[in-house]
Chains A and B, each alone.
Chain A
Amino acid sequence: GNSVTQMEGPVTLSEEAFLTINCTYTATGYPSLFWYVQYPGEGLQLLLKATKADDKGSNKGFEATYRKETTSFHLEKGSVQVSDSAVYFCALSDRGSGNTPLVFGKGTRLSVIA
């Protein structure tokens, strides 16, 4: 079956530090990959996505590259801000199986301190 594994949190960083949140996946088909962000008490917002191998998704200084050879989609940001404190979810949708709901990782909580 399909699954997503992301690094355990919480992750605590100082402002302007470099961020990496690891995400690996298992899929029976050829998935699209997503990163969502959730701020306290809110729903999920799409941060970025990639639909094929070697695609790079980017938004708000965050980026992630679809690596088929390592089945990974790690999230990176060069300089985090306090406002980036949130929970980040990696997810996949198996494009080979018709319309399927997203499969989510367990989320990684990021705290950025000034």
Chain B
Amino acid sequence: DGGITQSPKYLFRKEGQNVTLSCEQNLNHDAMYWYRQDPGQGLRLIYYSQIVNDFQKGDIAEGYSVSREKKESFPLTVTSAQKNPTAFYLCASSIVGSGETQYFGPGTRLLVL
């Protein structure tokens, strides 16, 4: 079955630690996205990528980094510079083009110890 997988489902971060969230898709989509979801805040865009080896900052990129070395994969690193990382992180992918539907993974919940 085609789809988007995210791992782990839950992730715990200690103070000062970098952590990496995985996102993999087998939908053959060129575009991939990372969103952060906080209660009552909706979804906010962190980074997105339309092609391998290229990505753009979203609305809240500070304290995060990404890479896009393969079409199927778009990992997100939450760095120690992100002072309030506790949130639900959602990865999505789509065909490149205007108005295309985005398909979402199941999400990773990040908690700070």
Q: Which residues of A line the B interface, CB within 8 A?
A: 31-32, 34, 36, 41-46, 49, 51, 89, 93-102, 104-107
Q: Which residues of B line the A interface, CB within 8 A?
A: 4, 6, 31, 33, 40-43, 45, 48, 50, 58, 90, 92, 94, 96-107
- Our count of residue pairs bridging A and B at CB distance below 8 angstroms stands at 59
The CB with the most chain A CB atoms within 10 A, among B33, B42, B50, B106, is that of B42
A99 touches B50 (CB 8 A): yes
B105 touches A32 (CB 8 A): no
Q: Which of B41, B94, B105 contacts A43, CB < 8 Å? A: B105
Q: Chain A's nearest CB lies how many Å from the CB of B38? A: 10
A89 touches B98 (CB 8 A): no
Q: Chain B's nearest CB lies how many Å from the CB of A87? A: 9
B48 touches A43 (CB 8 A): no
> B45 contacts which chain A residues (CB < 8 A)?
101
> A95 contacts which chain B residues (CB < 8 A)?
98-99
- Nearest to A90 among chain B residues (CB) is B42
Given contacts A89-B43, A101-B45, 12 further A-B contacts (CB under 8 A): A32-B99, A32-B100, A43-B107, A44-B92, A49-B101, A93-B100, A97-B98, A99-B31, A99-B96, A101-B102, A104-B42, A106-B42
The CB with the most chain B CB atoms within 10 A, among A45, A96, A104, is that of A104
A106→B35 CA distance, assembly (Å): 13
A93→B98 CA distance, assembly (Å): 7
- Nearest to B108 among chain A residues (CB) is A43
